[in-house]
Amino acid sequence: MIKKIIEANSLYDFFSDAKDVTVALSGGADSVALLYALNSLKKEYGFELYAAHYNHGIRGKEADKDQEFAENFCKSLNIPFFTEKGDVINFARETKQSLELSARKMRYDFLSRVAKGKIATAHTASDNIETIIFNLARGTSLNGIKGIPPKRDNIIRPLILCSRDEIEDYIKENNLSFVTDSTNLTDDCSRNIIRHKIVPILKDINSACIQNATRLSVLLNEDNDYLKLQAEKEFKDRLKNNALSLKDFDKLSLAISKRVIILFYKCVLGTEPDNYHTEKLYDVCTGKIKRTSIVENICGENKHGFLVFSKIKEPNVVFKTDAEIISIENFNKGKNVHELFLNSAIDYDKIIGEIRKVEKNSSDLIKLANSNSTKTLKKLFTEKKIPICERKNLPVFADDNGIIWCYKVGSADRVKIDKSTKTVLYFKTEKTGENINYGNY
């Protein structure tokens, strides 16, 4: 295993400029082996070694024991140790992210705060093949197929050429203890299914599959690095005041031109486009189409030979709503003519207090008539495919107990018309400049 770390360093130059290296120590076999190995190599490469453990607060007492183990292991090696405990479950709930993404963000935030120099993570060749398979299954480009990058910014991965079997052998040879995360033993997520089922099948087909995947990853990283450098040079030459010059753009190779588009997108909007939007923007750049929508109110278009991102000017749709009180008999006559009348009517006698038009708030809740659940207006707008340009001024009415009716959404269940209804309040809504629109659609 030590030889593989030295080989990886010769390929990726992990330690030449490293004064301080902090190992992300979970307490598992991989990170324990990494810390122990780097402790034996730190004098040779001339760096100070530290360890950092983040307790995600997910597994209760089991996680607390892992934290204690990591601290005691570092004491036995006389390695400075940093630790912190977080509440990933609550963070995931607040940010509406998956538990896995939330844990990763909080862990790396912690590492970036305590690490003085480089951060060493215990990603292995086995992790790499799992990542390649995972990315391949969900759809990816060269960037995903090349696997886990051996280094990124100040993050290095010295075990990237080592298989899990080699690490287990190293653990046994050095009589090292480690902890096991119980969640890694289950098949309740995609990565564990790949690890416990798919990779063993690949090993049956070819016992060298992990080494072969590692070799592929090395080659693809080399290719990707070259293409990245060429694309960055082309991008810098074409970037002019947040606009991308399209002169002779169709003469660029696809491998370079699409990377240039991705770099421009990231430069202006701060995120990377998916494959669909990259293809559509390529069509804009090569003149196949004039413009394409990117996000809610932004489009990419060719303006005088430059790709620019512009805000879409949306019409300011204004509504006028009148309310009419009618008897249930008269309402039913109209209902027979147009069934959608029902979506714009409520039981007048069920109104609590005064009725008034209110400012729309997307987080407002309403339980629609004959619905089993309460939802936000924002979610209902999406479900009913209401145009974004209409949502701002959409008529919303409430009584003292909350929302009772919203145009194009419907009425609240508590004021719905039923067999006991005697008097109906009917809303008649008109879009400014358009014909009267009865009902919900």
Query: Which CATH number does the domain housing residue 84 bear?
Result: 3.40.50.620
The answer as to whether 263 is a domain residue is yes
**What's the total number of domains in the chain?**
3
> Can you give the pLDDT at residue 17?
87
> Can you give the pLDDT at residue 436?
37
Q: Are 116 and 211 members of one domain?
A: yes
Q: Are 161 and 265 members of one domain?
A: no
**Mean of pLDDT values over 166-194:** 80
What CATH code is carried by the domain that includes residue 347?
3.50.40.10
State the residue range of the domain holding 359: 319-437
- For residue 368, give Cα distances in angstroms to 38, 112, 410: 62, 47, 7
Per-residue pLDDT band at 111 (split at 50, 70, 90): very high
Q: Are 339 and 285 members of one domain?
A: no
> Can you give the pLDDT at residue 435?
38
3-state secondary structure of 396: strand
Whether 431 shows a pLDDT value over 80: the answer reads no
The domain boundary residue, chosen from 311, 334, 369: 311
Indicate yes or no: pTM above 0.75: no
Q: Which position has the higher pLDDT, 253 or 314?
A: 253
Q: Are 191 and 282 members of one domain?
A: no
pLDDT tens digit string along 291-329?
888 876 788 999 999 999 988 766 667 888 888 888 888
> Can you give the pLDDT at residue 336?
52
Q: How many other β-carbons are positioned within 10 Å of the β-carbon of residue 260? A: 25
Q: Are 289 and 414 members of one domain?
A: no
Whether 337 shows a pLDDT value over 50: the answer reads no
Q: Are 302 and 364 members of one domain?
A: no
φ, ψ dihedrals at 125, nearest 5°: -65, -30
pLDDT tens digit string along 374-407?
888 888 888 887 776 677 788 899 988 889 999 8
The domain boundary residue, chosen from 263, 293, 311: 311
Q: Are 138 and 201 members of one domain?
A: yes
The answer as to whether 228 is a domain residue is no
The domain boundary residue, chosen from 311, 332, 360: 311
Whether 129 shows a pLDDT value over 90: the answer reads yes
Q: Are 300 and 363 members of one domain?
A: no
Whether 343 shows a pLDDT value over 80: the answer reads no
Share of the chain above pLDDT 70, in %: 91
Distance CA 259, CA 281 (A): 11
Mean pLDDT over each residue of the chain, to the nearest integer: 86
